């Protein structure tokens, strides 16, 4: 009897301490869940849904990737994002896209997408695509020159880059299996973080003098 009372008391405590919303479902429960980007009332992993009555049919279509980006940047490249923030109709669907344009010699510098696998197609030109394996692979660099019409695959979380090896502009379109794949640009993260990584940490990790680290920090003080 005492054991039953203890169990009942424990269950009641769990109920009172549990979050107000416990229900979930791995599959969609409606046709679309257009992101309410201004929604503040509920904190969720993603965005709450607009009422279907407020969702016009333009959430199914986008022309944002139709126009090339301005490649007059320090990297000689321009990324046009089409994630949930730019295309709210992708909310809960686990998909998004980017377009990247390159000037001759332009690069999409080493970076990581922490929340998504990436698959891409080169639309124009020739790009050196490099994917860096983890320590388990011996830090192996997998690379190939990918030409117009050819595709490439980058597993989630692996560092990678693209570099225009052609004499003319190049472009690619990539897709992700996340509405918000995230991005970690390695140079910017190391040398342009806020607040900065302490210089002694970087001098030890990179095995260089403090002056080299400070020079690199000055290059990324204003971001990309």
Residue 81 labelled as part of a binding site? no
CATH number of the domain within which 121 lies: 2.60.120.10
The DSSP line for 103-136 is: -TT-EEEEEE-TT--EEEEEEESEEEEEEE--GG
- On whether the CB atoms of residues 97 and 82 are closer than 8 A, the answer is yes
Determine whether the annotation assigns residue 98 to a binding site.
yes
Is 45 part of any known ligand binding site?
A: no
Any domain includes 6:
no
- State the DSSP H helix or E strand holding residue 161, giving kind and residue range, or none if neither: strand 159-164
Q: Is the dihedral of CA 118, 121, 124, 129 positive or negative?
A: positive
Domain match, 47 and 148 both: yes
- In a domain, residue 102? The reply is yes
pLDDT in tens, the chain (224 residues): 555 666 666 555 554 554 544 444 565 656 678 888 887 666 566 788 888 777 777 788 999 999 999 999 999 999 999 999 999 989 889 999 999 999 999 999 999 999 999 999 999 999 999 999 999 999 999 999 999 999 999 999 999 999 999 999 999 999 999 999 999 999 999 999 999 999 999 999 999 999 999 999 999 988 76
How far apart are alpha carbons 114 and 110 in whole angstroms?
13
Q: Are 162 and 216 within one domain? A: no
In a domain, 95, yes or no: yes
12 within domain boundaries: no
Residue 132 sits in the same domain as residue 208: no
Containing structural domain, residue 213:
185-223
Q: Is 47 annotated as a binding residue?
A: no
Tokens of 96: 């998004």
Alpha-carbon gap, residue 35 to 88, rounded angstroms = 5
**Do 90 and 102 fall into the same domain?**
yes
pTM over 0.95: no
| Tens-digit pLDDT profile for residues 21-61 | 444 456 565 667 888 888 766 656 678 888 877 777 778 89
Q: Could you tell me which of 28, 35, 181 has the C-alpha nearest to residue 96? A: 181
Q: Is residue 11 situated within a structural domain?
A: no
Q: Is 111 annotated as a binding residue?
A: yes
């Amino acid at each position: 009897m005492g054991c039953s009372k203890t169990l009942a008391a424990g269950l009641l405590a769990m109920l009172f301490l549990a979050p107000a919303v416990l229900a979930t479902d791995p599959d969609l429960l409606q046709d679309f869940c257009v992101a309410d980007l201004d929604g503040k009332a509920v904190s969720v992993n993603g965005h709450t849904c607009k009422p279907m009555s407020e969702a016009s049919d333009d959430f199914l279509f986008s022309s944002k990737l139709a126009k090339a980006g301005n490649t007059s940047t320090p990297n000689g490249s321009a990324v046009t994002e089409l994630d949930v923030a730019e295309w709210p109709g992708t909310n809960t669907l686990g998909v998004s896209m980017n377009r990247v344009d390159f000037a001759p010699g332009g690069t999409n510098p080493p970076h990581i997408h922490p929340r998504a696998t990436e698959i891409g197609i080169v639309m124009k030109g020739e790009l050196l695509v490099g994917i860096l394996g983890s320590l388990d692979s011996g830090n192996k660099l997998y690379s190939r020159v990918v030409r117009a019409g050819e595709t490439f695959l980058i597993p989630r979380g692996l560092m990678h880059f693209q570099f225009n090896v052609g004499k003319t502009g190049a472009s690619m379109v990539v897709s992700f299996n996340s509405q918000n794949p995230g991005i970690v640009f390695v140079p910017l993260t190391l040398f342009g973080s806020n607040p900065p990584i302490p210089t002694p940490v970087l001098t030890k990790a990179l095995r260089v003098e403090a002056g080299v680290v400070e020079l690199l920090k000055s290059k990324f003080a204003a971001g990309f």
